[in-house]
Chain A
Amino acid sequence: MRVAVITFPGSNCDQDCHRSVEIAGGSASYIWHREQSLGNAEAVIVPGGFAHGDYLRPGAIARFSPIMETVARFARRGGFVLGICNGFQVLCEAGLLPGALLRNASLRFQSHDCHLRVERADTPFTSACHRGQVLRMPLSHADGNYYADPETLAALESEGRVVFRYCDPRGDATVESNPNGSLMGIAGIANRRGNVLGMMPHPDRAIEAALGSVDGLPLFESLVGQTHAAEVVR
């Protein structure tokens, strides 16, 4: 599986994502945001960081980078797109995922481990997980407070598009385990077709024992293990 990792000015997790893909058995390459081609990539990762300094709003300027038009086309054709942290914000701003990420309810930059409950194990990003599995990985953001209007939120829930929810170590989605005020404790969502996923926590920072957790690795193994990708995209 060939995975393109987009690098914007201000991206700071592109190398983490590159390494995650390689450790999971895929091959990764960097694509600079000014490029217009994804080459022969079969999946795209929009990494974390502060693209364009997060000026105006996180992701607001990045979504107009030349490569994003290609990423949008790629997503519309069914290509796999994973947005992590700032990448999630970019995908929301680009309209590839619904809703928005507001300032954390605490008004603080949150940087600590969190627990996530896998709500869907039948996506290209979670197929190596099982439903109800609890993953521990870091989060690191100031604007991770997921918001969508009530209709959108109801649709996300009824269509089973909430893929990850913040929870406690036992898997209970409690108020205390919600780090940023996200509605319904949402940590990650997919588009209707299921080929685009955005999440605030960092699986790319939980891929090796030395990092304190390997719970992020199954996400990359899931993605890298997708065999029908090339066919879907071409």
Chain B
Amino acid sequence: MTQSTPNPSGPNRFAVQVLVTPRPGLLDPQGKAIHHSLASLGFDSVAAVRVGKAIHLEVAAESAAEAEEAARAMCDKLLANPVTEDFRVAAVASAGETR
């Protein structure tokens, strides 16, 4: 086991939640449709709806910070489209020992 490069058999597993959302100002027809539906159901307090996606990762890493950093790299490369989407690494909790 190496200390610097975590792998799936690394010491700790962290649950990382990634939120990917459409850029502000970008047309979000899904959000608009849901907004209309909510309004028609009487939820007229809703000012805006944006629809994105939540991606739950279990990441083996030495620390929570390392797991977060890995998740950000994944967003840059694959999980979010830099042209249309923003992302946020929303929560990191220990998912326990892998061994």
A interface residues, Cβ below 8 angstroms from B: 56-57, 60-61, 64, 92-93, 98-100, 102-107, 145, 147-149, 181
| A60-B29 in contact (CB<8A) | no
Minimum C-beta distance from B35 to chain A (A): 13
CB neighbours (8 Å) of B30 from chain A are 103, 107
Say whether, besides A107-B33, A147-B84, A148-B83, A102 and B78 are in contact (CB < 8 Å): no
Say whether, besides A102-B84, A107-B33, A147-B84, A56 and B79 are in contact (CB < 8 Å): yes
Question: Count of A-B contacts with CB under 8 A?
Answer: 35
| A105-B81 in contact (CB<8A) | no
Minimum C-beta distance from B74 to chain A (A): 11
CB neighbours (8 Å) of B26 from chain A are 102, 147
Q: How many residues of B contact A (CB 8 A)?
A: 10
Q: List 23 A-B contacts (CB under 8 A).
A: A56-B78, A56-B79, A57-B81, A60-B81, A64-B78, A93-B81, A98-B83, A99-B83, A100-B81, A102-B26, A102-B27, A102-B84, A103-B29, A103-B30, A104-B29, A105-B27, A105-B29, A107-B29, A107-B33, A147-B26, A147-B84, A181-B27, A181-B29
Given A64-B78, A149-B83, 6 extra CB contacts under 8 A: A60-B81, A61-B78, A98-B83, A103-B29, A103-B30, A106-B29
Cα distance, A72 to B29, chains bound together (Å): 32
Cα distance, A3 to B78, chains bound together (Å): 29
- Type the 1/0 row for B1-30, where 1 means its CB is closer than 8 Å to any CB of A: 000000000000000000000000011011
- Type the 1/0 row for B78-99, where 1 means its CB is closer than 8 Å to any CB of A: 1101011000000000000000
